[in-house]
Amino acid sequence: MNRSSIKGQRLGALFIIGLLMFNYPLLFLFNSALELLGIPLLYAYIFGAWATLIGVMALVIEKGR
Amino acid sequence: MQGWVVVVASFSYLGVLFAIAYYGDKRADQGRSIIANPYIYSLSLAVYCTSWTFYGSVGRAASSGIGFLPIYLGPTLMAALWWILLLKIIRISKANRITSIADFIASRYGKSQSLGGLVTVIAVVGIIPYISLQLKAVSNSFVILLQYPQIVMPATIGEVPILHDSAFYIAMLLAAFTILFGTRHLDATERHEGMVAAIAFESLVKLVAFVSVGAFVTFGMYHGFADIFDRAAGAPKLDALLTLGGAAGTYGTWFSLTFVSMLSIMMLPRQFQISVVENVNENHITKATWLFPLYLLAINVFVLPIAFGGLMHFPDGSVDADTFVLTLPMAERQPALALLVFVGGLSAATGMVIVETIALSTMVCNDLVMPLLLRSKSLQLTRQPDLSGLLLGIRRWAIALILLLGYFYFRIAGEAYALVSIGLISFAAVAQFGPAIIGGMFWKDGNRSGAFAGLSAGFFLWAYTLLLPSFARSGWLPMSFIEQGLFGIALLKPLQLFGLSGLDQISHCLFWSMLANIGCYVWGSLTSRTTVTETSQASAFVDVFKRSVEGGSRLWRGSASVDELFALLSRFLGPTKAARAFDDYARTRGARFFRDLPADANLVHFAETLLAGAIGSASARVMVSSTVKEEPLGIDEVMNILDEASQVIAYSHKLEQKSRELEAATAELRAANERLKEVDRMKDDFISTVTHELRTPLTSIRAFSEILLEDPEGEAAQRQKFLGIIVKEAERLTRLINQVLDLAKLESGRAEWHAAELSLREVIEDSVAATSGLFEDKRVRVETRMPPDVPLITADRDRLMQVIINLMSNAVKFCRAGDGLVKIRLVTGPEELRVEVQDNGPGIAREHHETIFDKFRQVGDTMTDKPQGTGLGLPICRQIIGHFGGRMWVNSEPGKGATFSFTLPRRPADSASAA
């Protein structure tokens, strides 16, 4: 898969970043009910990070040629 | 709400689904596929979201806040790896005509029928809870909706007799629908384009329905997200849900759910079917990688608001949280919305049931039933003319059976658990395929025994820690099983195996089953032998990106006939399809009709792959090998076939060649060495001889000089004599040295030649004149006989004179003084001129005729005769004459004189006159 090994590696990196973002250590940091625009911080973080991850995945996979 | 309204709505929805599927299949047959589109592909992947997503997420969120979400984060993370993993799986599956998960695993591990059967059993047992959860969701929502506008929870499951249980009828209805949907005909590739189109449609429907009710709750019932969360924070019990529980256990659960959903998105039979088997174009993965997670995000945005809305609206816990999605619009008097929600839920459930049961029935038919039937001798299946009807029948019965089993699980165990918990049981089951599949794709040494051991161990532990407790919870197994362990042994408590406590049920199950699975897989693979087929399949799978399309040696030996193979294929695919496939293949091989093809290993492989699409690779292997007379290959023989062996042979050929060349070179070197040694010897001889010759006159000179020195008053006459000798010897020495140098120059080719046109007659006359003194001294007569006209030749004048003078002085030397006669003749020949110098001396014995031309050789006994010359004269002459392209020789008999002759070519040799 040499034609897209960079793409594969970037996506692999995104995978690991996601794994870190959505699990214990980082998740714990945001685990509070403080409100961000009226939305609890935990929810805002998870959904926001999720949306961002999806966006970056889209960029990497569509743009990298 | 009138019952008939709901029923009509449901049937019309199902009708639309059916119509879409029908249209999709028709377009596929025409070759104008409507699903060859990355958006459709991505949407169809959303079959991952079932009633679990539609109803169950809200139920889970109501009890654990955001703890419902990891099930969707896992697939998002996995999607990032699809670029590597899914692409490889699709490539392998296309190359090997793999049509199900059981087929994939069976094919990878040596086309093993037993492994395929095991995978099928695990899949069926594991998915049954999942199907029952769909039935529970649909039947509950149906019953609830019927009570509109009242909100009444359905009766406890066990209380309703089967024949009055709506769930039963729903199960049967779904079975009939699925049979009609997916088993109308047999496709060799197991592709169902119509089904994919219908699934994409229903993904849209459920998304629209859920978002509608979510928007209604969030913005209709309340004033937006902030409002809902504010109020929830205010309510005492609810604000605990705004964060994750602090104990590490919650994070452990979070991670387990993420992990298990990461595996499930690939290993669920319906996901495998849609993402791999139904994949039309590998490039669709690109869009799916981010579109699918986006869908998941969209469908989950409103889960928490709905959950909180429901909790706040029904505070006393009388309404099951799993039903909030439906009961909230019902409570707010929105019948149309409620009906939409019901249809959305129906859509989610039917989508799952259709794809899952079709995938499972394919596995049951190809990997479980067919191998057993083929083995049974009494059925003589290998002789049946047409088996496609049998295959379809098996699949239909499988679908009905699976749904029936799902219903029974629903009755037995459905009450005890919330929807999500039931679903997680299935997730943990299909996660057992993970090591075998992922290991199979990247680890060539993973073999059948390892996979078998791993799958068995994992399945057993899953059943023990997750499935059986679910029966116990519902009362079908004694509770003592859970509380005290099997046979009362505390270490065997299914929820705290070997004393591991503190984990939630799923994490606990995952830990033990994965430990056993991976451990047995690795240990089994490393400690057992691998067969030939396993090794070649392992290579085919792991190296799928490195392989060229066709060709390479096939690990197969046997004899086959094209007709037999064709007959076999047409039994399963029908004669027209088989003929078309064979003819296409024939054309790629350059033949017009398949009957012209040779029945070689490639054709057998093609036939087997084609058949694998219809009945699975393990059964295809069995059928093909029973048709062709196959001979089993041993490892040794395979090594002969494989390329490595031919490489070794080629290498050894090269080595042989090299060693031969080496021998030849050595022989040459040896010969050259001999020659060098010879030359060295000759050089040593030459040097010793020369020094000897030089020393002799030097000795005389010294001796006589010393005498003269010692005796200055000696006799004048004697002094004269001695001085004369000294002078003569010095002259001789000089002559010798000159000649040695001359000869050296001649032999090494460094002499100078001045060629000119001359008359040989003149040269002879000049030479005679030059030596006249010698002749007079010794009173030897000279006679010349030369023709008057002598053609001119090109030669070096001085050298020529040197030769003639030498010959003449030799002649004089050996003539007796007084009556010596030297005759010189010149003869003109057609090609050459010949000069003869004859004397009437003592002559030369025949054995010396050649040796006198050697260096330092003088005729006569060297002991008694005083050396008269240097012994170099004749060799020099011969060199010179040879340089001009002539020859020199002697004719003589002892007592009769000697005749020295030499020839000179009339046209000079090209190589000679270089100067």
Q: What is the pLDDT of residues B439-486, one digit of tens each?
A: 999 988 888 999 999 999 999 999 999 888 888 877 777 887 777 777
Confidence class of residue B211 from pLDDT cuts 50, 70 and 90? very high
The amino acid occupying position B306 is I
Which residue out of B42, B78, B290 would a mutagenesis test of the A interface target, given it has the greatest number of A Cβ atoms within 10 Å? B290
Look up residue B537 and give its two tokens.
């399949």
Residue B399: both structure tokens together: 């679908």
Tell me the nearest-neighbour CA distance from A4 into chain B, angstroms.
9
> Mean pLDDT, to the nearest integer, of B838-848?
84
**Residue B382 CB neighbours (<10 A):** 14
Bigger pLDDT: B550 vs B290: B290
- The whole-number pLDDT of residue B52 equals 92
Q: What is the mean pLDDT of chain B?
A: 83
d(CA B871, CA B689): 11
* Contact at CB, A57 and B244, closer than 8 angstroms: no
User: What pLDDT is stored for residue B914 in this prediction?
Assistant: 42
Q: Is the pLDDT of residue B578 over 60?
A: yes
Q: How far is CA A36 from the centre of its chain?
A: 19
Question: Which of B168-172, B237-241, B663-667, B888-892 is the least confident region?
Answer: B237-241
pLDDT of B207 reads 96
Q: State percent of chain B over pLDDT 90.
A: 30
Contact list in A for residue B242 (CB cut-off 8 A) is 33, 40, 42-43
* Average confidence (pLDDT) over B506-520: 93
Put simply, the answer to whether B83 touches A4 (Cβ < 8 Å) is yes
What is the model's pLDDT at position B746? 82
pLDDT computed for residue A15 by the predictor: 92
d(CA B277, CA B270): 10
Give the distance from residue B311's alpha carbon to the nearest chain A alpha carbon, in angstroms: 17
Rg of chain A taking only CA atoms, in angstroms: 15
| Residue B822, SS3 per DSSP | strand
pLDDT of residue B551: 40
pLDDT digits (tens, 9 = 90+) for B524-556: 999 988 887 788 888 888 888 776 544 434 455
ipTM, two decimals, is 0.93
**Residue B902: its H or E element:** strand B898-905
Q: Number of A to B CB contacts under 8 A, please give it.
A: 107
Cα–Cα–Cα angle for B746, B865, B804, rounded to 5 degrees: 35
Calculate mean pLDDT across residues A38-57: 89
More confident position, B277 or B379: B277
Q: Which of B850, B851, B856, B884 is nearest to B868 (CA)?
A: B856
Residues A39, B229: C-beta atoms closer than 8 Å: yes
Q: pLDDT by residue (tens digit) across B332-348?
A: 888 899 999 999 999 99
pLDDT at B248 over 50: no
Q: Nearest CA to B521 among B589, B467, B445?
A: B445
Is pLDDT at B399 greater than 80 in this prediction? yes
What string of DSSP letters covers B64-122?
Answer: HGGGGTHHHHHHHHHHHHTTTHHHHHHHHHHHHT--SHHHHHHHHTTS-HHHHHHHHHH
Q: At what angle do helices B101-108 and B617-627 cross, to 10 degrees?
A: 60
Which residues lie closer than 8 Å to B174 by C-beta, 6 or more apart?
A: B135, B349, B350, B353, B354, B403
Rounded to an integer, what distance in angstroms lies between the CA atom of residue B333 and that of residue B482?
Answer: 44
Min CA distance, A47 vs chain B (Å)? 8
Tens-place pLDDT, residues B581-634: 888 888 777 777 767 666 777 788 888 888 887 777 777 877 787 776 655 556
Give the span between the Cα atoms of B418 and B90, in whole angstroms.
35
Give A30 or B280, the one with higher predicted confidence: B280
Would the pLDDT of A1 be above 50?
A: no
Determine phi and psi for B631, rounding to 5 degrees: -110, 130
The residue among B137, B159, B140 whose CA lies nearest residue B151 is B140
pLDDT at B268: 95
Q: What is the pLDDT of residues B144-170, one digit of tens each?
A: 888 877 777 776 655 677 777 888 888
Distance in angstroms (rounded) separating the CA atoms of residues B800 and B527 = 95
Question: Mind giving me the DSSP string for B512-523?
Answer: HHHHHHHHHHHH
Most confident of B233-242, B252-261, B689-698: B252-261
Q: Note the pLDDT of residue B215.
A: 94
For A25, nearest residue in chain B (alpha carbons) = B251
The nearest CA of chain B is from the CA of A19 a distance in Å of: 7
Q: State which H helix or E strand residue B127 sits in.
A: helix B113-146
Task: Say if residues B562 and B597 touch (Cβ distance below 8 Å).
Answer: yes
Average pLDDT, integer, range A10-29: 86
Higher pLDDT, B394 or B714: B394
Q: In whole angstroms, what is the distance from residue B818 CA to residue B99 CA? A: 125
Mean pLDDT, residues B885-892 taken together: 89
| pTM exceeds 0.80 for this model | no
Residue B579: C-alpha distances to residues B187, B190, B562, B568 (Å): 15, 19, 12, 11
CA–CA separation, B153 vs B643, rounded Å?
70
Q: What is the pLDDT of residue B631?
A: 59
Query: Encoding tokens for residue A17?
Result: 């970043």
Q: Per-residue pLDDT for B272 more than 90?
A: yes
Interface test mutation site (partner B, options A50, A59, A62, max chain B beta carbons within 10 A): A50
With 80 as the cut, is the pLDDT of residue B7 above it? yes
Q: What percent of chain A has pLDDT above 70?
A: 89
Mean pLDDT of B109-134: 92
pLDDT in tens, B662-702: 999 999 999 999 989 988 887 888 788 778 878 888 888 88
Q: What is the pLDDT of residue B321?
A: 85
Are B81 and A15 in contact (CB < 8 Å)?
yes
What was the pLDDT predicted at B524?
Answer: 93
Can you give the pLDDT at residue B630?
59
* Per-residue confidence (pLDDT) for residue B25, from 0 to 100: 85
- Residues of B in CB contact (< 8 Å) with A are 66, 69-70, 73, 76-81, 83-84, 87, 224-227, 229-230, 233, 239, 242-244, 246, 248, 251, 254-255, 258, 286, 289-290, 293-294, 297, 301, 304, 545
**pLDDT above 90 (res B258):** yes
- Among B42, B57, B72, B77, most A C-beta atoms within 10 A, so best to mutate, is B77
Report the alpha-carbon angle B735-B741-B747, nearest 5. 130
